[in-house]
Amino acid sequence: MSMTKTFTRMALSASLALGTVGPAQAAEEDVKIGFIVKKPEQAWFINEQDAATQVGEELGFSVVRLGGEDGQEVLSAIDNLNSQGAQGFVICPPDVRLGPAIMNRAEQYGMKVVTVDDRFVGGDGEPMEEVPHLGMSGYKIGQQVGEALVAEMDARGWDPQEVAALRITNNELPTAKARTDGATDVLLELGFPEENVFDAPQQNTDTSSAFSAASPVLSQHEEFDHWIIYALNEESVLGGVRATEQYGLEAEDVIGVGINGSGAAFAEFSRENPTGFHGTVAVSSTKHGRETAENLYRWITEGEKPPANTETSGTLMTRENWQDVRDQLGL
Average pLDDT on 79-100 reads: 97
6-26 pLDDT, tens per residue? 333 444 444 444 443 444 444
The model's confidence at residue 28, banded by pLDDT at 50, 70 and 90, is very low
DSSP annotation of 203:
S
Average pLDDT on 151-174 reads: 95
> How many angstroms separate the CA atoms of 137 and 139, rounded?
6
170-209 pLDDT, tens per residue? 988 888 999 999 999 999 999 999 999 999 999 988 999 9
Average pLDDT on 209-217 reads: 97
**Count of Cβ atoms closer than 10 Å to residue 270 Cβ:** 10
| Domain ranges in the chain with CATH number 3.40.50.2300 | 32-131+285-311, 138-282
pLDDT at residue 1 tops 80: no
- 16 or 82: which leads in pLDDT: 82
Average pLDDT on 162-169 reads: 97
> How many angstroms separate the CA atoms of 110 and 113, rounded?
10
The model's confidence at residue 29, banded by pLDDT at 50, 70 and 90, is low
Q: Are strands 277-282 and 315-318 parallel, antiparallel or unpaired?
A: antiparallel
Mean pLDDT of the chain: 90
**Which pLDDT belongs to residue 136?**
86
Helix (H) / strand (E) element for 62: namely strand 62-67
> How many angstroms separate the CA atoms of 222 and 247, rounded?
10
- 138 or 226: which leads in pLDDT: 226
Q: Indicate the pTM of the whole model.
A: 0.70
pLDDT at residue 160 tops 60: yes
**Count of Cβ atoms closer than 10 Å to residue 75 Cβ:** 17
DSSP annotation of 118:
S
- 303 or 42: which leads in pLDDT: 303
pLDDT at residue 268 tops 90: yes
pLDDT at residue 73 tops 90: yes
Sign of CA dihedral 152, 155, 159, 163: negative
The model's confidence at residue 65, banded by pLDDT at 50, 70 and 90, is very high
pLDDT at residue 27 tops 70: no
State what percent of residues in the chain have pLDDT above 70.
91
The CATH number corresponding to 32-131+285-311 among 3.30.1490.20, 3.40.50.2300, 3.40.50.150, 3.40.50.800 equals: 3.40.50.2300
**Which pLDDT belongs to residue 144?**
96
Which of 149, 216, 211, 152 shows the shortest CA–CA distance to 182? 149
Give the architecture (CATH level 2) of 138-282. 3-Layer(aba) Sandwich (3.40)
* One-letter amino acid of 243: A
Contacts of 225 (CB under 8 A, 6+ apart): 162, 249, 253
